Amino acid sequence: MNNRNLFVIIVLCFLTFACGSNADAKKKQFSIKIDGDTSKFKLGETIKASILNPKKLEIDSVTYFFEDTKLTTTDKTLLVEKIDDERLGKHLLKAIVYFEGKEEDIYKKLTFYNNKPPKLYKYKIIAEYPHDQTAFTQGLEFVGDTLYESTGKNGFSSLRKVNYTTGEVLIKKDIDKKYFAEGITIINDNIYQLTWQSKEGFIYNLSTLDKTGGFTYNKSKEGWGLCNDGTYIYKSDGTEKIWVLDPKDLSEKSYIEVTTHNKVKSKFNELEWIDGKIYANTWQKDGIAIINPKNGALEAVINLSGLREKVSQHENLDVLNGIAYKKDTKQLFVTGKNWDKLFEIEIIK
């Protein structure tokens, strides 16, 4: 064996020993035990967590957190927490164990669900209006009697001002073909428009549709849908998260995760704020989800099956997408991608 081969063997042995030693050093002294050995909980249920201490080390105290929120405990190792105001979805329960002059961080993954299944609503068509069949609808929103629409696909994306009763496009601004435009929302006389995978969005003047600025994404994965409550903007990105944005700079301040009574849901597309709730198209589904913006509970689903069959059938016909609400008259409108009709509907509970 030559000296080079001997050197390689010595180095490998050293690395193996060192890696093994590091792995042993990283072993946790403690772990979190949940009563019932479950990680799934519903609103109103109580989590009972305690610290497993197999080596019987002297524990001075334990501090628990849900993500970054510190939890109060009356016992130095036991946590009893009722799920009430917490947002639903995936959480990380963290415990910092203080012992013998040292501390150790340990974690447990949990998922919170709503305590009720979604209600199921039907619909009734009130009126039908013409809609541009070439519009691959991605965003839809009223200001007064004027309808604003964002359309997608590379080379076909646009921002439009529309007379909804006639379908006439009053103003159309084409978007650079490198962008696939997505949802819009209107707040403080500005129109905000997303792009799908370009990680940036645009800001427009409400009256002229002239571009006045832009913004970039931070933590959110993609751009899907937008709506606002008059104070904050809500953004879907294709995941289970709906992000809460500051309209001043479009920074992502927080998020909710949408859940039913037994599932975490995703793929929410066009959004609309209606009477304190988020109404959301679900991509490839013939329905609208009604979401509680405070905790992410999916409270109801409007079954819109059959609506797509009422528009002209053609090779470019695509899915239901587009929700617009006239607040002054409480009228609800829906359409789809490359649909030649805009429907006013009434929800039947």
Give the residues of the chain that fall short of pLDDT 70. 1-26
At residue 9, the pLDDT reads 40
Kindly tell me the sign of the dihedral angle through the C-alpha atoms of 256, 262, 266, 268. negative
Q: What is the pLDDT of residue 160?
A: 98
pLDDT at 19: 45
Strands 119-130 and 298-303: parallel
What values do phi and psi take at 22, rounded to 5?
-65, -40
Give the DSSP letter string of 155-184: TT-EEEEEETTT--EEEEEEPPTT--EEEE
pLDDT in tens, 29-55: 999 999 999 999 999 999 999 999 999
Closest CA to 179 of 134, 133, 223: 223
Give phi and psi for 345, each to the nearest 5: -125, 160
AA letter at 121: Y
Secondary structure of residue 15 in the 3-state scheme: helix
Q: Which helix (H) or strand (E) holds 234?
A: strand 233-236
pLDDT digits (tens, 9 = 90+) for 268-288: 999 999 999 999 999 999 999
